Amino acid sequence: MSGLRLRVTAPTRPARESLLGFLTGLDEQPSGYWVEACFAEPLRALREACGERVAVAFEDGGLLQSLDAWRNVLLPVSFHAAHDSRAARLRAQGILAAVGRRPEDFMASPAQLSLFEKRLIGFVKAAVLEPQLLVIDRLFEELGHEEQKSIASLLELFHRRYPLRRMLYVGLSESPPGLLAGFEPLEREEAIQ
Amino acid sequence: MAASAAYAGLRGFADLAHDVFARLGALSSAPVREVLARQVHKVGVATLSAMVIRAAGIGTLIIAYTTYVLAADAAFAVRILIWAVLREIGPLFAVIMLIMRSGTAMAAEFALMRERGELQALRMTRIRVLDYIVVPTVAAMTLSNVAITFYFQLLAVAGGMLLSALLMEVSLAELAEHFFAAATLWDLVYTLIKSLGFGFLVGLVVCVHGLGIGGRQAELPEAVSRAVMQSIVAVLLFNAVFAYLVFGVLFFGIVRAPA
């Protein structure tokens, strides 16, 4: 496992889901040809290196409609009770402040948020857990240029704050050049190449 | 084939019931308690508000029926009211209201959560659906059903006696006297056990079909329909088994417990 910031482009949605399922521990074994044959070993190495401390910033935020967006951010922290919830709240406020937003902007249901806002909240929700591996689920796709720049600045912020933690960007299409500067491609297994 | 499928289904419900009991400790977590409070509020508001007139109407109907049609005296009418409202119709009517008003809504909500990928996101965040959704929902259904049943009984008995006193030639004091003479603590215990069992079963069935537990990944309309139908079947079966255990008879005395 060479780099701390990695990227991979999944050929299909099921392949992406298989990859996320394996990394988050939902599936014991990688499934599907693409994951199993091309990336099984590097993914296993990632999982072993990071254990259970994997968080995903989902493409749609992965938010519950029954809670307002801000409470979605704090749900994993309060559920696992492994984190100081006050510190997590402050961390979340800090991340939002970096893109000029406040918690008060997110007291509405996730259904009322734009795609960018959902992704922003989803990123904050994952980042406040201070994971060993932050999986970034196609956050750049289907966004405008300014929104993409905001997301890129958040990724940079996370990297600066936790320089030894890993990030894996999972896309369904190639991201525009520059946005993923510093992200190395996830190594395919030699036998397959 | 059908028998083995039914056995597998029952086994799945039994396993889930066991898991719910085993994970009741999850209710000590603040977010889970929050879900419990939200579900109790939703179930309570949806069901209780729809009950007042129906409950009082049923109480009046029972007294009027026994007094006029069966030509019974007030004491007998009140005994029938106790037997029907406290023991049989009360718990059944309450749980039917629970299924129709809240069970359908919850099954639909859970099926939508599944379709929107919220359950998958929860699992990937290492939040167990069993702990965060199933346990508080089953607990909320169970507790709410007890409250709904007692509320229904109170309204049916009080409303029935009040309306009967107004409409018929029986005084309220006379009806109340007969009621307190005939009602026993056992009636309350009987109702409590039944309403706990009914609520628990409905909670389980709603979760199984709404959340798609055990591979039952039905579309939203089908999930709601199955949740309603199986809840009713589960409640009627429980009612029959409970009556058999308590009174030793089933199906109007056709099946009798061995002496």
The region that residue B126 occupies, defined by phi over 0 for left and psi between -120 and 50 for alpha, beta otherwise, is left
Q: Which of B39, B124, B211 to mutate to test the interface with A (most CBs of A within 10 A)?
A: B124
Nearest one of A169, A161, A167, A187 to A49, comparing CA atoms: A167
pTM score, whole prediction: 0.86
pLDDT for the residue B142 = 95
Q: Which of A13, A64, A80, A83 to mutate to test the interface with B (most CBs of B within 10 A)?
A: A64
- Which residues from A are below 8 Å from B126, CB to CB? 24-25, 52, 76, 80
pLDDT for the residue A3 = 56
The residues, ordered by sequence, that sit 6+ positions from A45 with a Cβ below 8 Å of its Cβ are A1
Which of B59-73, B75-89, B114-128, B209-223 reaches the highest mean pLDDT? B114-128
pLDDT for the residue B216 = 66
Q: Measure the CA–CA gap between B107 and B127, rounded to whole angstroms.
A: 20
- Which residues from B are below 8 Å from A65, CB to CB? 112-113, 116, 118
Q: Measured between CB atoms, which of A25, A65, A79 is closest to B31?
A: A79
pLDDT higher than 80, residue A89: yes
The residues, ordered by sequence, that sit 6+ positions from A149 with a Cβ below 8 Å of its Cβ are A179
pLDDT higher than 80, residue B219: yes
Q: Note the pLDDT tens digit of each residue in A53-76.
A: 899 999 999 999 999 999 999 999
Q: Measured between CB atoms, which of B32, B118, B124 is closest to A64?
A: B118
Q: What is the mean pLDDT of residues A21-45?
A: 83
Q: Measure the CA–CA gap between B82 and A26, rounded to whole angstroms.
A: 53
Q: Note the pLDDT tens digit of each residue in B229-244.
A: 999 999 999 998 888 8
Q: Measure the CA–CA gap between B122 and B101, rounded to whole angstroms.
A: 27
Q: What is the mean pLDDT of residues B119-142?
A: 94
Q: Measured between CB atoms, which of B30, B113, B117 is closest to A78?
A: B30
Strand-pairing partners, residue A56, are: A135
pLDDT higher than 80, residue B72: no
Q: What is the mean pLDDT of residues B11-33?
A: 91
pLDDT for the residue B123 = 93
**The complex's ipTM?**
0.87
pLDDT higher than 70, residue B259: no
Which residue in chain A has the smallest CA separation from B112?
A65
The region that residue B168 occupies, defined by phi over 0 for left and psi between -120 and 50 for alpha, beta otherwise, is beta
Q: How many cross-chain Cβ pairs, A to B, lie less than 8 Å apart? A: 52
Q: Cβ separation of B124 and A26 shorter than 8 Å?
A: yes
Q: What is the mean pLDDT of residues B86-110?
A: 90
Q: What angle (nearest 5°) sits at the alpha carbon of residue B101, between those of residues B238 and A66?
A: 110
Q: DSSP code of B103?
A: I
Nearest one of A25, A113, A126 to A74, comparing CA atoms: A126
What's CA A125's distance to the chain center, in Å?
9
pLDDT for the residue A34 = 79
pLDDT higher than 70, residue A193: no
Q: What is the mean pLDDT of residues B100-120?
A: 92
pLDDT for the residue B146 = 94
Q: Note the pLDDT tens digit of each residue in B189-202.
A: 888 999 999 999 99
Which residue in chain B has the smallest CA separation from A137?
B121
Any B CB within 8 A of A24 CB: yes
Q: Note the pLDDT tens digit of each residue in A113-159.
A: 999 999 999 999 999 999 999 999 988 888 888 999 999 999 999 99
pLDDT higher than 80, residue B21: yes
Q: What is the mean pLDDT of residues A9-19?
A: 88
Q: What is the mean pLDDT of residues B100-114?
A: 92
Nearest one of A85, A80, A81, A82 to A70, comparing CA atoms: A85
Residue at token pair 């036998």 = A191
Joined together, the tokens standing for residue B237 give 């079966």
Average of per-residue pLDDT values in chain A: 87
- Which residues from A are below 8 Å from B32, CB to CB? 79
**Helix-helix angle B220-247:B104-115, to 10 degrees:** 140
Q: Cβ separation of B29 and A81 shorter than 8 Å?
A: yes
Q: Which of A79-93, B186-200, B245-259 has the lowest mean pLDDT?
A: B245-259
The residues, ordered by sequence, that sit 6+ positions from B112 with a Cβ below 8 Å of its Cβ are A65, B220
Where residue A189 falls among pLDDT bands split at 50, 70, 90? low
Q: What are phi and psi of A141, to 5 degrees?
A: -75, 145
Average of per-residue pLDDT values in chain B: 86
Q: Of chain A residues 114-173, which have a CB less than 8 A from chain B?
A: 125
pLDDT for the residue B48 = 77
Question: For residues B231 and B205, is the Cβ–Cβ distance under 8 A?
Answer: yes
Residue at token pair 């977590």 = B29
Q: What angle (nearest 5°) sits at the alpha carbon of residue B36, between those of residues B32 and B40?
A: 170
pLDDT higher than 80, residue B225: yes
